[in-house]
């Protein structure tokens, strides 16, 4: 399966407004842990999901938009560090 197909599968198995564990997601998708971790890494870099100790969650539109702005617009006066919006240090 191509990487983008794996990412599509994984993303659509993550429930909206809820957290799912990696173990549950592996079982739901029928993937091994290594393939799932690679896919989650790509989805995180694309600002679509967030991984934490509690599990994996889908970012809502506003969160994804804000993270992409911080990532691609270095001139913004703020940044996100560990989920907290902070004034950018000059």
Which residue did the predictor score with more confidence, 73 or 35? 35
Could you give the domains of the chain?
3-87 (1.10.10.10)
Helices (H), the chain: 3-13, 22-29, 33-45, 61-72
Q: What is the pTM of this model?
A: 0.82
pLDDT tens for each residue of 28-58 = 999 999 999 999 999 999 999 999 988 999 9
- Listed residue (23, 64, 31) closest to 47, CA to CA: 64
Name the β-bridge partners of 52. Answer: 55
């Amino acid at each position: 399966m191509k990487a983008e197909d794996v990412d599509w599968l994984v993303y659509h198995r993550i429930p909206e407004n809820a957290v799912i564990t990696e173990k549950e997601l592996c079982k739901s998708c029928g993937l091994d842990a290594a393939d799932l971790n690679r896919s989650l890494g790509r989805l995180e870099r694309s600002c679509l999901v967030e991984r934490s100790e509690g599990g994996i969650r889908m970012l809502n539109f506003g969160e994804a938009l804000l993270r992409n702005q911080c990532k691609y617009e270095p001139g913004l006066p703020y940044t996100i560090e560990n989920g907290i919006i902070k004034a950018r240090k000059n």
